[in-house]
Amino acid sequence: MPSFLFWNTNRKPVEQAIVRLARKHNPDLLILAEYPVEREELLAKLNEGERAKYTLPGGFSERLSFFVRLPPDRFVSVTDKPGIAIRRFVPSVGGELLIVAVHLPSKFHATGDDQKYLAVDLQRAIGEAEGRVGHRRTVVVGDFNMDPFEPGLVASHGLHAVMDRRIANRGSRTVNGTECPFFYNPMWSLMGDVDGRSPGTFYYPKSGPVAYFWHMFDQVLIRPTLLERFDQRSLCIMSSDGERSLAGSDGRPDGKRASDHFPIGFRLRD
């Protein structure tokens, strides 16, 4: 049952929190964005006293760091582009997966139109990689810097990620003569504060008329071929590292002590 944890650490040296998260959730694949410290340093701390060791796979992604609890030959680089790292992931059991980790530019550095085009670019890169590996057992995870309802995530020529697995299970739809494959976006189910959980992964108050306050920038998207294996109940936003809160007293990500994003985690069944 491969498990995954993604965290945008916002350039903060949060090794201890990462180690605690890893001890608590045991992710087979730990993906970090904006991690500022030497990866080897963190690797040593992650493996201290642990029987199942993490390794640092090859690849040249600048923004995204991977720590894998598998032999390096089971995690193979496919493509690196700015903010996009695509890897083949071969768990001990279950079929090979295509993992697409992303950290797209923030709204401080890109306009809404920029983000739409970047989503198209990402979709092309995923399609190309799926063609090369010959399957669509694809998981996209990371900081999209867009909410699930924004055009880059929803549009047919963008990521085409829908909130309803029955629609996703149709596989694809044809728009203007082009077949556009679906993703399922389970993050829709975590939006809002039901049961007192965090309403999103990132908090940003705006003074203008339209302010969402909470954003779900950190997401996982699943191709329909993996839907049966996706454990919806495992999907979570982590507001604690297991010992210490990653949130301030107001429940928002504590950007001073930790990161301005909360981590997310999920599992796939074997």
Residue ranges binding another protein (CB under 8 A): 11, 34, 58-60, 62-63, 76-82, 88, 109, 117, 120, 124, 128, 132
Strands, E, within the chain: which ranges? 3-8, 29-33, 64-68, 75-81, 84-89, 97-103, 138-143, 161-162, 172-175, 178-181, 183-184, 202-204, 213-215, 218-222, 230-237, 264-268
Which is nearer to another protein, 124 or 269 (by Cβ)? Answer: 124
Which residue, 3 or 115, has its beta carbon nearer to another protein?
115
Instruction: Pick the closest to residue 127 from 228, 74, 237, 135 (CA basis).
Output: 135
Nearer to another protein, 11 or 197 (CB): 11
* Shortest separation between residue 199's beta carbon and another protein, angstroms: 28
Where does residue 52 rank: exposed (0-12), middle (13-18), buried (19+ CB within 10 A)? exposed
Nearer residue to another protein within complex by CB, 58 or 171: 58
- Give the shortest CB-187-to-another protein separation in angstroms: 25
Shortest gap between Cβ of 175 and another protein (angstroms)? Answer: 15
Of residues 128 and 243, the one with the C-beta less far from another protein: 128
Q: Minimal distance in Å, beta carbon 79 to another protein?
A: 4
CB of 116 to another protein, least distance (A): 10
Q: How far apart are CA 130 and CA 138, in angstroms?
A: 8
Alpha helices (H) in 26-93, listed in sequence order = 39-47
